[in-house]
Amino acid sequence: MAATPPIAARRPEALNAQGISLNDNYSWLRYKDDPAVIAYLEAENTYASAMLAHTSDLQAQLYTEMRGRIKEDDDSVPVQMGDYIYYTRTEQDKQYTIYCRKRGGLDAPEEILLDGNALAAGHAFFRMGAFKVSADHNLLAYSIDTTGAIVFTLYLKDLRSGELLDTAIPDTASVEWAADNRTLFYTIYDETHRPFKLFRHRLGNDPGSDELLHHETDDAFYLGLSSARSKRFLFFSLNSMSTSEVRYLPTDTPDNDFSMVHPRQHWMEYSVAHHGDLFYIRTNDGGALNFKLMTAPVSNPAKSNWRELLPHRSDTLIEGVDLFADYLVVYERRVGLPQIRISTPGGQNARYIAFPEPVYSAWPGQNEEFASNSVRLNYSSLVTPRSVIDYGLADGSWTVRKQDVIPSGYNPADYVSERLTATASDGSQIPLSIVYRKGLQRDGKNPTLLYGYGSYGYSSEPTFDSKRLSLLDRGFVYAIAHIRGGQELGRSWYEQGRLMHKKNTFSDFIACAEHLITLHYTQPQRIAIWGASAGGLLVTAVTNMRPDLFGAVVAKVPFTNVIAAITDPKLPLTVIEYEQWGNPHDPEAFAYMLSYSPYENLQRRAYPAILATGGLNDLQVPYWDPAKYVAKLRTLKADSKPLLLRTNMSAGHGGASGRFDYLKEIAYEYAFVLDALGVAGKD
């Protein structure tokens, strides 16, 4: 067995807040420039590799299985944009996407706009950010990240000559073109990774002289840019976790200032779309918890002119709106499932799309053309691979443009998907989606992987994942806990899982695990739990609460150190997060966060096998969060089960960027779970 990495003796630092002093013996791990920190992380990586060295053949087998389910030479479904058809493709043995177009039709010659493989050359990490073509299709604004920090450098390319124009602009977030094909608007990040400034750039100018249009000084707000599908307006949004402000600019007057729709009003959220002489406004104003849809005249969209088009409904959440020349598409959620409402722009002749399975996921695809008679959707379920659907807005036709192919073979009839309901400690009914291989016996002995997230209102969708077959074919039950903090059951589901109700997220997850045991799908210690980021907070928090229940924990880039993060406004996104977790300046909120923060609540006891992962360049959850968690737990863990830390030294929050490198990470994590639960090979 490899030697556990030593924790260098350092002077502890004290965190003082609300009259409480919290000594932190591992705060030194926050200093990335200290060679001892890098040495420690590398030692932990070496230790983790040694501890799982006996699974090397299993890792290789898992990787081969998962790669065999990828169609390596593949094309996306083409998207019509004016006279051009845009699409992406991948090639055998190449890690990254190639961006292409054809003019006039699919039989036209291919034009490669960007080759991700060429752009990634020489970089350990590569991610594409913005990809925005000008209205005349002659210019491309694109951005790339080569660190994993999700901070992008913006480039402008002349698609006629292939030359790069102007000087690259660093630290950019969102970007949009005006209609004149020479004016570009973009936002940049501050040192806390908050988009905080909006600039106007004119082609040919030095970016250093770009005009600053807005500097957001309230640290709780971040900036965004979007374009109406009609192409007539740009929208500049300012958002916090609870409040919105939107400004608009006609795309044909790029020299003008953005105009206000409605100034920010605390705890009021809204977003804006455009059609004809009207703006369509989705808002929770006036107590519309699940949102309602309003219209306002473009000539004067002040709130006093808003008129209700689609009222608030207590059982239906309005998630988004798409507008086409002759149709209004509203994305809703009811009883935990997505619904899509089709009507005229005025809301008449409404109907809903009928989906082919009782439990499924459906979400908007890429819809670029305003004058379209179809809406592009993505559709999937736990047993149905992702399908790209063109739904006829006039005739209700359902055309499958593409379904993901599993080259190594896949038969959906070999698997069973179910929707269960667990009862939470307060009586709330928690949806639970599960999938397993047909023929599985409910004898209480099946290994199970339980996934959850439950934060920011993000709903955990029951979608297909070909990688997951490597678990199902080894006898696993895979389960998704639709816990509070998401929006599966409407906005109230989210509100019941944040701020002073955050512990509902954890008790819901525990209730789901116990329900699977009650129904004899599995038993304690045969359950592995898996969560990333805020989901990493979830799995480490419930491990503190019920370590007896779980056999293995995979905490990917876990937000374990809530108190240290939320009390340091210099850390990325901290102030923005006050409305998600709580304001540490409020004694009651501070005490509540302290009561569940995983790092502060570690105890001397037996714990499950634990794998925590981090990314050295992560700005969302700094690498030191999982590193400190593991270091402290090493001094308290009263058992011999594995405790591993694996840090990607050249990536950030999302892990490896290459599609094959990412599979190696998943194979490593699956091998850890299989080993911890004593599952050796396929059944």
Q: Give the pLDDT means over successive 10-residue stretches in the chain (683 positions).
A: 65 69 87 94 97 97 98 97 97 97 96 98 96 98 96 97 96 98 97 95 96 97 97 97 97 98 97 98 98 98 98 98 98 96 97 96 96 97 98 97 97 97 97 98 97 97 98 98 98 97 98 98 97 98 98 97 88 89 93 96 97 95 96 95 97 93 97 94 53
DSSP codes of every residue in 258-277: PEEEE---TT--EEEEEETT
Could you say which architecture CATH assigns to the domain 41-67+410-676?
3-Layer(aba) Sandwich (3.40)
d(CA 665, CA 240): 34
State pLDDT tens for residues 549-602. Answer: 999 999 999 999 999 888 888 888 789 999 999 999 899 999 999 999 999 999
DSSP string computed for 78-91: PEEETTEEEEEEE-
Q: List the Cα angle 654/594/549 in 5-degree steps.
A: 70
Among the listed residues 285, 322, 618, 625, the single catalytic one is 618
**Does 653 participate in catalysis according to the annotation?**
yes
List C-alpha distances in Å: 364 to 87, 244, 358, 505: 17, 23, 19, 27
What local confidence, expressed as pLDDT, does residue 146 receive?
Answer: 96
- 482, 597, 653, 657: which is the annotated catalytic residue? 653
Measured from the Cβ of residue 159, the count of other Cβ atoms closer than 10 Å reads 16
Is 259 considered catalytic here?
A: no
Q: How many residues does the chain have?
A: 683
Residue 640 appears among annotated catalytic residues: no
Task: Indicate the domain borders of the chain.
Answer: 41-67+410-676
Please choose, from the candidates 464, 470, 419, 380, the residue with its C-alpha nearest in 3D space to the C-alpha of residue 62. Answer: 470
Which residues have a Cβ under 8 Å from the Cβ of 452 and sit 6 or more positions away? 460, 480, 481, 483, 505, 509, 512, 529, 531, 535, 538, 539
List 244, 460, 466, 533, catalytic entry: 533
